[in-house]
Copies of this chain bind each other. A is one copy, B any other.
Amino acid sequence: MSANEDAITNWFAGQRKLAKSDFPIGIGDDMAQIRLAKDTSVLITTDILLEGVHFDFATATLKQIGYKAMAVSISDCAAMATIPIAAVVSVGLPKGFGQRQLKQLHAGIILAADKFNCKLIGGDIAGWKTKKPFVINVAMLSKPAANKPVKRSGAKVGDCICVTGSLGGSGESPDYKHLTFEPRVKEAIEIAKMVTINAMLDISDGLSSDLNRICRQSGVGAIINAEDIPISPQAVRLSSPQAKKNKEPLKAALNDGEDFELLFTLSTKDCEKLLKNWNNKTAITKIGEITNTNKMQIKTADGKIKNLEISGYDHLKI
């Protein structure tokens, strides 16, 4: 159960009431929204990436780490269908880390920043007294697009559940998709232009955990079809004899996390319209429906309906 992280987040959210007029979106979504004037608001997200957890120097270059740190936050902007504006980046540096390494990291930060027209406008540098570990935090601002920022809590019974791209195996060699993924900003804004998205987030901890978040925050249930889940080539390879991992691709797609694909719900009518008119190289797949059961369910290939195990990544799992 991905319950610990969500439980404490709920507890935090309950400690102080935020005035809706000043903070239309508060704790517990992909970004918080701050109203600054009648027609002007800004959104903010923060993401911390830890050595040995979100990346490893054995498999990632500093440039890739810089890119990933920015891309994770840009993906949060996409999750609300908002437009990235600017970022500030903090780093905790291992002893001996100098200007050369910072410039490599910067190259990755700028690669992502330039691609999404998100400016690097500040930061903070601190050094550990030890040779380990490296840590990087990105805080990013975005602004609403033509649509209202899309929350997690708007899923309605009968909605179709859709995802972009394909899922699973994001941490697997040789691709290490989690280091090079393309945040779905353009896709999110394009979808929001075509239809009304009722609820959305980006899949960071795994489809099962993140769909559960939409359902809990919307007060609904869901049923997904195992056969419809778009499984990534990286996850498919896991079951090949060469992989020797004996890992089930479907499970990888459900629980691996760090896919950074969009997971969203919309009315059946809008779903039909979207799938009919969608003309983008990033696939959109309908994977299930929102139900009034309050349960998370999965229909397997043999037609049986089972409870969906929520077993994505939980940072507070001990």
Tell which of B16, B42, B44, B316 touches A36, judged by Cβ atoms closer than 8 Å: B42
Chain B CB within 8 A of A126 CB = yes
Chain B CB within 8 A of A233 CB = no
Chain B CB within 8 A of A78 CB = no
The smallest C-beta distance from A54 to any residue of chain B, in angstroms, reads 7
Residue count of chain A within 8 Å CB distance of chain B: 74
The smallest C-beta distance from A206 to any residue of chain B, in angstroms, reads 15
Contacts of A20 in B (CB 8 A): none
Tell which of B98, B121, B130 touches A32, judged by Cβ atoms closer than 8 Å: B121
The answer to whether A90 touches B50, judged by C-beta atoms less than 8 angstroms apart, is: no
Given contacts A39-B37, A143-B36, contact A128 B90 (CB under 8 A): no
Tell which of B16, B48, B129 touches A137, judged by Cβ atoms closer than 8 Å: B48
The smallest C-beta distance from A19 to any residue of chain B, in angstroms, reads 9
Q: Which of A1-29 contact B (CB under 8 A)?
A: 4-5, 7-9, 11-12, 15-16, 18, 22-23, 26-29
Contacts of A46 in B (CB 8 A): 88-90, 122-124, 137, 139
Q: How far is the CA of A163 from the CA of B7 in the complex (A)?
A: 45
Chain B CB within 8 A of A92 CB = yes
Q: Which of A120-138 contact B (CB under 8 A)?
A: 120-130, 133, 135, 137
Chain B CB within 8 A of A34 CB = yes
Tell which of B37, B85, B317 touches A34, judged by Cβ atoms closer than 8 Å: B85
Count of chain copies: 2
Chain B CB within 8 A of A273 CB = no
* Among listed A99-107, A188-196, A284-292, interface-contacting one: A99-107
Q: How far is the CA of A18 from the CA of B141 in the complex (A)?
A: 15
Chain B CB within 8 A of A49 CB = yes
Chain B CB within 8 A of A227 CB = no
Q: How far is the CA of A47 from the CA of B126 in the complex (A)?
A: 9
The smallest C-beta distance from A120 to any residue of chain B, in angstroms, reads 7
Given contacts A40-B36, A93-B315, contact A31 B99 (CB under 8 A): no
Tell which of B23, B37, B45, B48 touches A126, judged by Cβ atoms closer than 8 Å: B48
| A interface residues (Cβ-Cβ under 8 A, vs B) | 4-5, 7-9, 11-12, 15-16, 18, 22-23, 26-29, 31-32, 34, 36-37, 39-40, 42, 44-50, 52-54, 85-86, 88-93, 95-96, 98-99, 102-103, 106, 110, 113-114, 119-130, 133, 135, 137, 139, 141, 143, 315-318
5 tightest A-B CB contacts, nearest first: A139-B139, A48-B90, A32-B121, A137-B137, A46-B88
